[in-house]
């Protein structure tokens, strides 16, 4: 059964389109999704998952378990950058270590969206409050990563990082604002009127996800060549750490909730790495960090590892433990 679960995930059309994107780069095809279309699709995915989450949340009672789940999520996002920073600092400079640690403590909205699709393939539904939890996990890791850089940076000539402006930027980041806004609108929307846009938010979702992952495949393929010039350490980190994080928090989440779908999403969020919000924040606040390192690690290595090996593994753990 476990082998069948892996095969089922590997033959998912969305994943196969991701692989097609990588192949297109290596055969030197001119295949690409126009940048405006790619941006629209990413906005659509965030809008759709936020709105659906808000609708689900409106049907949920706010319980002690949800409160603990939110605190647990923030703790994950703050804790992961701390221990990963000290692992990374042994081999990399403080700026790169902090940026990568922030990326792995924060979350990937696209990985989250893919995980929702994975749950649906298992005939399971996402609980609405997990969308709010995903949005909550974007910012703490960025803040912790920047604090660590400030504490361990010995270069006095470096511009001082202003934490209040970092907090504001992370909360007003486009992806965070859209998913929080869509969540709030979905929560407040009249159920009958919300039915009117259901064909757009639900029926088109998997098709748009497949096209978006095709674009992600093309982007990843282009970044892989330069990434390998950094040696094996970043590659090993980008494969091992996410799987360790995912498995660890798949087990620990059992102390917070017994719900399999919630535990699975906690594992996926802990294992994912940000390649949208964190790079945007680091570009502004820590220009010394090398985007040619942390961006391919999150997008070209960790993302495909999570959607091929990670998700079936985390799902198996939350079922067994």
CATH of the domain at 68: 1.20.1530.20
Classify residue 75: in a domain, yes or no: yes
Classify residue 310: in a domain, yes or no: yes
Sequential DSSP letters for 125-140: ---THHHHHHHHTHHH
Question: Model confidence over 231-248: pLDDT tens digits?
Answer: 899 999 999 999 999 999
Q: Which long-range contacts (CB under 8 A, 24 or more apart) does 314-318 make?
A: 314/246, 314/247, 314/250, 314/264, 314/267, 314/268, 314/271, 315/5, 315/118, 315/122, 315/264, 316/2, 316/5, 317/247, 317/250, 317/251, 317/267, 318/250, 318/253, 318/254, 318/260, 318/263, 318/264, 318/267
Classify residue 232: in a domain, yes or no: yes
Classify residue 89: in a domain, yes or no: yes
Look at residue 294 and tell me whether its pLDDT is greater than 50. Answer: yes
Classify residue 62: in a domain, yes or no: yes
Question: Model confidence over 9-51: pLDDT tens digits?
Answer: 667 787 788 889 989 998 999 998 898 888 888 888 878 878 8
Instruction: State which residues form the domain around 180.
Output: 2-23+35-320
Please state the rounded mean pLDDT for residues 180-198: 85
Residue 169: pLDDT band (50, 70, 90) is low
Classify residue 29: in a domain, yes or no: no
Classify residue 28: in a domain, yes or no: no
Question: Model confidence over 112-163: pLDDT tens digits?
Answer: 988 998 898 889 988 888 988 888 887 789 889 988 988 888 765 455 666 6
If one counts the domains in the chain, the total is 1
């Amino acid at each position: 059964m476990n082998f069948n679960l892996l095969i089922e995930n590997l033959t998912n059309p969305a994943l196969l389109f991701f692989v097609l994107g990588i192949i297109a780069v290596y055969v030197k095809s001119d295949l690409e999704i126009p940048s405006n279309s790619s941006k629209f699709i990413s906005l659509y995915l965030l809008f759709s998952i936020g709105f659906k989450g808000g609708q689900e949340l409106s049907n949920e009672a706010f319980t002690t378990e949800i409160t603990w789940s939110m605190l647990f999520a923030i703790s994950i996002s703050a804790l992961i950058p701390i221990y990963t920073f000290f692992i990374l600092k042994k081999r990399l400079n403080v700026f790169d270590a902090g940026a990568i640690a922030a990326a792995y403590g924060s979350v990937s909205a696209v990985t989250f969206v893919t995980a929702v699709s994975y749950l649906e393939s298992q005939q399971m539904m996402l609980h609405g409050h997990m969308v709010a939890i995903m949005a909550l996990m974007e910012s703490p890791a960025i803040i912790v990563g920047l604090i660590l850089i400030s504490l361990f940076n010995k270069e006095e000539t470096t511009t001082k990082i202003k934490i209040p402006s970092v907090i504001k930027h992370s909360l007003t980041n486009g992806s965070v604002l859209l998913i929080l806004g869509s969540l709030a609108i979905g929560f407040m929307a009249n159920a009958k009127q919300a039915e009117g846009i259901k064909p757009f938010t639900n029926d088109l979702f998997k098709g748009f996800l497949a096209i978006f992952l095709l674009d992600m495949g093309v982007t990843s393929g282009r970044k892989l060549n330069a990434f390998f010039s950094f040696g094996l350490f970043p590659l090993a980190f980008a494969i091992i750490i996410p799987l360790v994080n995912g498995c660890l928090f798949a087990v620990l989440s059992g102390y917070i909730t017994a719900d399999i779908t919630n535990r699975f999403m906690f594992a996926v969020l802990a294992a994912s790495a940000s390649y949208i919000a964190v790079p945007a924040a680091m570009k502004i606040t820590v220009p010394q960090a090398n985007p040619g390192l942390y961006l391919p690690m999150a997008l070209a290595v960790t993302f495909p590892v999570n959607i091929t090996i990670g998700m079936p593994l985390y799902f198996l753990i939350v079922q067994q433990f």
